[in-house]
């Protein structure tokens, strides 16, 4: 039996009420998530992932894990794959590892983390990376990136050995600090990297001047951190309605407005908004469906945010 849009939405409303979640438009959710290619392999991944800084960092009880489990369950069931963490995010890695293991969804996910050292050195790197395997409860990590360019040469060499040995699938580097952009570019020019991860948001477009286009030229996948500027963008539009023209690219919320701007960039592979609530998953994955803004619309979005 084929259900029409109205019937499917009604079913979603019923289900939403019973699960005490906001109404879910199952019709919209039946659409596949947009995916993009990782240039170094041709593998495709959905353009929206989960960031685990802050909200997963300080989990002290099983009760605090309940909404996080529901977040990951919902994310995976809607086709999401990429989850990003770091050993420096407190409880984030072990909590993600435990929940993913409990839900038995490891194989359908793309687990990313970082080597994030306080003390330089190959032995320090090995020790931390081995811990990440244990905390994530997996024998293969999809991506490990050097966090904030700490001890880059030594750690990249180590990550490449691990990639060669088949324990890691991709390697990369990350930053979110403007003062590191110059050095970041130099590493990108010198090294063959599968991924870079940088900050980029509708109101923070500095990395689009050189770093993101350079990644496009060098065949590196681009993962975007701080896509909402840690929530700053939501504050900027507080009390404001979405512009009418947002409908032209199937945008139904501010979160989708901010995310669709980023993932419509040709060189951007995915964005990893911090998500610790199932309702955010439903909303943010909506940015990976339907139309994306074209170049003139992206300019209009920039002008819009400059005017608020
Ligand atoms: N150098 C690096 O490698 C580096 C640096 C920074 C970040 N990162 C990565 O980037 C990820 C993202 O950064 P972030 O989490 O700090 O900041 P963010 O993604 O810019 O903002 C996340 C916040 O936005 C709010 N939010 C999310 N979805 C929403 C929705 N649909 N509607 C309304 N509000 C929504 C949530 O606030 P509430 O939870 O308060 O409701 C959430 O905590 C991190 O988790 C981390 O994985 C990496």
Residue range 114-139, pLDDT digits in tens: 999 999 999 999 999 999 999 999 99
Residue nearest to ligand 1 atom 37, measured at CA: 231
Q: Which residues, other chains included, contact 39 with Cβ-Cβ below 8 Å and sequence gap of 6+?
A: 219, 220, 221
Q: Residues 151-172: what's their mean pLDDT?
A: 98
Which residues form ligand 1's pocket by a CB distance below 6 Å?
51-55, 84, 147-148, 174-176, 197, 225-231, 234, 255, 272-276, 280, 283-284
d(C-alpha 64, C-alpha 243), whole Å: 36
Distance in Å, CA 22 to ligand 1 centroid: 21
Which one-letter DSSP state was computed for residue 107?
Answer: G
Residue nearest to ligand 1 atom 8, measured at CA: 225
Q: Residues 218-225: what's their mean pLDDT?
A: 99
Substitution site in 240, 273, 275, 279 for ligand 1 pocket (most atoms within 8 Å of beta carbon): 273
Q: Which atom of ligand 1 is found nearest the CA of 226?
A: 20
Token pair recorded at residue 154 = 């030594």
Residue nearest to ligand 1 atom 47, measured at CA: 51
Q: Which atom of ligand 1 is found nearest the CA of 227?
A: 20
What's the number of CA atoms in the CB half-sphere (13 Å) around residue 106?
A: 14
Q: Residues 32-58: what's their mean pLDDT?
A: 98
What's the number of CA atoms in the CB half-sphere (13 Å) around residue 236?
A: 20
Q: Which atom of ligand 1 is found nearest the CA of 56?
A: 45
Question: Residue 111's closest CA among 74, 79, 138?
Answer: 138
Q: Are strands 35-37 and 44-46 parallel, antiparallel or unpaired?
A: antiparallel
Question: Residue 205's closest CA among 299, 269, 293?
Answer: 299
Question: Residue 260's closest CA among 290, 235, 282?
Answer: 290
pLDDT band at 25 (very low <50, low <70, confident <90, very high): low
Question: Residue 121's closest CA among 148, 93, 144, 153?
Answer: 153
* pLDDT higher than threshold 80 for residue 41: yes
d(C-alpha 32, C-alpha 69), whole Å: 23
Distance in Å, CA 285 to ligand 1 centroid: 14
Q: Which atom of ligand 1 is found nearest the CA of 52?
A: 45
pLDDT band at 20 (very low <50, low <70, confident <90, very high): very low
Q: Which atom of ligand 1 is found nearest the CA of 228?
A: 20
Q: Helix, strand, or coil here: 238?
A: coil
Distance in Å, CA 91 to ligand 1 centroid: 16
pLDDT the model gives residue 1: 36
Report CA dihedral (78, 82, 87, 88) to the nearest 10 degrees. Answer: -90
* pLDDT higher than threshold 70 for residue 13: no
Longest distance between any two alpha carbons in the chain, whole Å? 61
Substitution site in 51, 59, 178, 287 for ligand 1 pocket (most atoms within 8 Å of beta carbon): 51
pLDDT band at 31 (very low <50, low <70, confident <90, very high): confident
Question: Residue 101's closest CA among 64, 69, 59, 137?
Answer: 137
Do residues 146 and 125 touch, judged by C-beta distance below 8 A? no
pLDDT the model gives residue 23: 52
What are the Cα distances from residue 283, in Å, to 57, 131, 286? 22, 33, 5
* pTM exceeding the 0.75 threshold for the entire prediction: yes
Residue nearest to ligand 1 atom 11, measured at CA: 51
Residue nearest to ligand 1 atom 29, measured at CA: 280
pLDDT tens figures, 69-121: 999 999 999 999 999 999 999 999 999 999 999 999 999 999 999 999 999 99
pLDDT the model gives residue 283: 98
Pinpoint the alpha helices (H) of the chain.
5-18, 26-29, 62-77, 92-103, 122-136, 152-164, 181-190, 211-218, 232-236, 254-263, 278-285, 295-307
Token pair recorded at residue 271 = 């964005």
Distance in Å, CA 1 to ligand 1 centroid: 40
Q: Residues 8-16: what's their mean pLDDT?
A: 43
Which one-letter DSSP state was computed for residue 208?
Answer: G
d(C-alpha 269, C-alpha 154), whole Å: 26
């Amino acid at each position: 039996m084929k259900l029409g849009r109205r019937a499917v939405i009604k079913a979603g409303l019923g289900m939403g009420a019973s699960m005490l979640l906001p109404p879910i438009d199952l019709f919209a959710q039946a659409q596949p998530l947009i995916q993009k290619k990782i240039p170094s392999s041709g593998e495709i991944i959905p353009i929206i992932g989960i960031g685990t800084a802050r909200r997963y960092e300080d989990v002290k009880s099983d009760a605090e894990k309940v909404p996080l489990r529901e977040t990951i369950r919902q994310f995976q069931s809607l086709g999401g794959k990429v989850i990003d963490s770091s050993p420096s995010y407190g409880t984030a890695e072990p909590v993600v590892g435990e929940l993913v293991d409990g839900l038995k969804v490891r194989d359908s996910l793309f687990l990313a983390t970082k080597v994030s050292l306080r003390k330089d050195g190959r032995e320090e790197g090995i020790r931390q990376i081995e811990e990440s395997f244990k905390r994530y409860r997996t024998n293969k990590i999809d991506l490990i990136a050097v966090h904030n360019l700490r001890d880059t040469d030594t750690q990249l060499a180590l990550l490449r050995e691990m990639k060669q040995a088949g324990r890691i699938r991709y390697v990369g580097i990350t930053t979110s600090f403007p003062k590191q952009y110059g050095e970041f570019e130099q590493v990108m020019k010198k090294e063959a990297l599968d991924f870079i991860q940088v900050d980029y948001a509708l109101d923070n477009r500095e990395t689009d001047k050189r770093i993101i286009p350079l990644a496009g030229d060098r065949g590196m996948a681009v993962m975007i951190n701080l896509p909402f500027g840690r929530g700053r963008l939501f504050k900027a539009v507080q009390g404001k309605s979405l512009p009418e023209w947002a409908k032209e690219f199937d945008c139904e919320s501010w979160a989708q407005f901010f995310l669709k701007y980023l993932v419509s960039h040709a060189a951007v592979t995915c964005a990893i908004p911090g998500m610790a609530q199932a309702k955010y998953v439903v909303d943010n994955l909506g940015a990976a469906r339907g139309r994306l803004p074209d170049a003139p619309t992206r300019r209009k979005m920039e002008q819009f945010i400059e005017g608020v």
